[in-house]
Amino acid sequence: MERLDKFLSDTYTKSRSKAKELLKQGRVLVNGLPQRSGDVKIDPQKDTVLCDGVLLTARPKRRVLLLHKPAGCVTALRDREHKTVMEYLPPEHRDLCPVGRLDKDTEGLLLFTDDGDLAHRLISPKHRVKKLYYAEHEGTCTLEDVLAFREGLTLGDGSKCLPAELEILGEGKSLVTVTEGMYHQVRRMLASRGKPVTYLKRLGEGSLHLGDLPLGMTRELTEEEIASLFPV
Ligand code: URA
């Protein structure tokens, strides 16, 4: 069940105040009867809502799935040689597309969606969505490495990284937070500081965390979780 003013604003007016105005003017019919209050709850699957004679239908719910990706599979829709991440999705969700990519040898949080705008916003560096990685590597990071990450590293091929966070966890273990997703970025960032990566796992993206989702398993995000990815 959903509030009538929210339903009108989601499907038609794009604004709650405009929806209230239409309601007040008696231009909205629910199951054939004029309805002037936005507080009324409707069932968008069962109730018929007309505004100025136009039938309003609920947008199909967008789906976002979170996979705990194991190592050894590629982020691709199909691949002749390797197992793909798609094989871990329940059959009814295999029409979704991965949001960005994780390397074959990287584990961790990988999202899938049918909402192209949402995928674009998550990937685009413009929106500065943080991706948190746990890395094991040769050598141990130093304060100089932390400062170099903060400054913005230049990789072997000359590409310039946006400022990133490096947290030293201990001998050969670090946390890295980036807001962009260049090819093999975290591996190349650590390699550029003489710390080749031996194990990499994405722990978080924006407000989302892997939590205790077992390796190879998926779960569907709630609308609240999706909304929390882009706090206003
Ligand atoms: N950085 C990498 O190097 N690999 C990934 O899979 C993700 C980020």
Domains of the chain: which residue ranges?
2-56, 64-225
Determine if ligand 1 sits within 6 Å of the CB of residue 164: no
The answer, yes or no, to whether residue 109 has pLDDT greater than 80, is yes
As a whole number, mean pLDDT of residues 86-99 equals 96
**Which residues 6+ apart lie within 8 Å of 68 measured at CB?**
107, 108, 109, 210, 213, 214, 215, 216, 217, 218
- Model pLDDT for residues 177-223, shown as the tens digit of each residue: 999 999 999 999 999 999 999 999 999 999 999 999 999 999 999 88
CATH fold label, 2-56: 3.10.290
Q: Which CATH number fits domain 64-225: 3.30.2350.10, 2.40.110.10, 2.40.37.10, 3.40.50.720?
A: 3.30.2350.10
Mutate to test the pocket of ligand 1, among 131, 200, 202 (most ligand atoms within 8 A of CB): 200
pTM: 0.79
Determine if ligand 1 sits within 6 Å of the CB of residue 103: yes
Determine if ligand 1 sits within 6 Å of the CB of residue 106: yes
pLDDT (0 to 100) of residue 231: 63
- Model pLDDT for residues 120-134, shown as the tens digit of each residue: 989 988 888 999 999
- Model pLDDT for residues 39-51, shown as the tens digit of each residue: 999 998 889 999 9
Q: Give residue 208 CA to ligand 1 midpoint distance, Å.
A: 17
Name the residue type at position 28: V
pLDDT above 70: percentage of residues in the chain = 99
Determine if ligand 1 sits within 6 Å of the CB of residue 187: yes
**What atom of ligand 1 comes closest to residue 184's alpha carbon?**
3
Closest to 135 measured CA to CA, from 176, 163, 188: 176
Determine which one of 10, 47, 79, 103 is catalytic: 103
Element (H, E) at 77: none
Closest to 110 measured CA to CA, from 188, 187, 181, 199: 181
d(CA 43, CA 64): 23
Beta-ladder partners of 168? 174
pLDDT (0 to 100) of residue 232: 55
